């Protein structure tokens, strides 16, 4: 597994079709580390960006992404083809980030501004059409990032998967292993919290 390196800077190759990915997964399950390296190359940027937005610390995000792929490599034989590989991988990443966030002392937050003031716009919320997305897009990105820190880990994960990874509610439900109603409830309650914070009003007001 030493040959699997997560750098967080390689592009997510569009040339990998679902058929190719499936073949790599099958080969990885048979112990082919080169095939698993190809899976890493395809998904490392997405996973790193997820861990970065969840954890808000570049060093911890890189470490977490490495651990996600190490866990996937160790458990690849348990992966069943009844779900997409990306769903399984995102589940590992989200659970890992939530576990890390829960272990942080209360009140401890990290900010990307402290580490990388020139981070590119990929960390901003993407343009959407709903009222909630319109609200988020109109606010400055610094305020959005700050507000996201106030969400519960599960809410932050759903916001990440919905708005940044652009997944469907059904896909998020599979990743979070939660009913659709729970996923939607977490998203909407998280958006309500963001509205309050972005409006500069305390939840108790």
Task: Identify the CATH number of the domain in which residue 148 sits.
Answer: 1.10.10.10
Residue 205 lies in a domain: no
Domain final residue, candidates 51, 84, 107: 107
- 113 occurs within a structural domain: no
Structure confidence by residue, pLDDT tens digits, 113-156: 444 434 443 444 444 456 566 555 554 566 777 778 888 999 99
> Which residue range is the domain that position 40 belongs to?
7-107
- Does residue 79 sit in the same domain as residue 135? no
SS3 per-residue string spanning the chain: CCCCCCCCCCCCCCCCCHHHHHHHHHHHHCCCHHHHHHHHHHHHHHHHHHHHHHHCCHHHHHHHHHHHHHHHHHHHHHCCCCCCHHHHHHHHHHHHHHHHHHHCCCCCCCCHHHHCCCCCHHHCCCCCCCHHHHHHHHCCHHHHHHHHCCCCHHHHHHHHHHHHCCCCHHHHHHHHCCCHHHHHHHHHHHHHHHHHHHCCCCCCC
| Residue 109 scores a pLDDT above 60 | no
Is the pLDDT at 1 greater than 90, yes or no?
Answer: no
The pLDDT tens digits for 157-199 are 999 999 888 999 999 999 999 999 999 999 999 999 888 887 7
Which pLDDT score, from 0 to 100, does residue 200 have? 66
Structural domain ending residue among the three candidates 107, 130, 154: 107
């Amino acid at each position: 597994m030493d040959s699997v390196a997560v750098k967080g800077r390689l592009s997510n190759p569009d040339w990998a079709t679902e058929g190719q990915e499936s073949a790599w997964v099958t080969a990885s399950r048979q112990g082919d580390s080169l095939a698993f390296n190809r899976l890493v190359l395809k998904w490392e940027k997405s996973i790193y960006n997820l861990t970065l937005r969840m954890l808000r610390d570049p060093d911890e995000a890189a470490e977490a992404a490495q651990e996600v792929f190490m866990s996937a490599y160790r458990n690849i034989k348990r992966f069943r083809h009844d779900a997409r590989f990306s769903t399984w991988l995102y589940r590992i990443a989200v659970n890992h980030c939530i576990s890390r966030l829960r272990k942080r002392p209360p009140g401890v937050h990290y900010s990307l501004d402290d580490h990388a003031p020139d981070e590119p716009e990929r960390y901003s919320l993407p343009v959407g059409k709903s009222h909630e997305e319109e609200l988020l897009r109109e606010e400055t990105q610094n305020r959005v990032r700050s507000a996201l820190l106030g969400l519960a880990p599960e809410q932050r994960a759903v916001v990440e998967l919905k708005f940044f990874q652009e997944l469907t509610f059904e896909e998020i439900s599979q990743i979070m292993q939660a009913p659709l109603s729970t996923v939607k409830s977490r998203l909407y309650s998280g958006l309500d919290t963001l509205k309050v914070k972005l409006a500069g009003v305390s939840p108790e007001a």
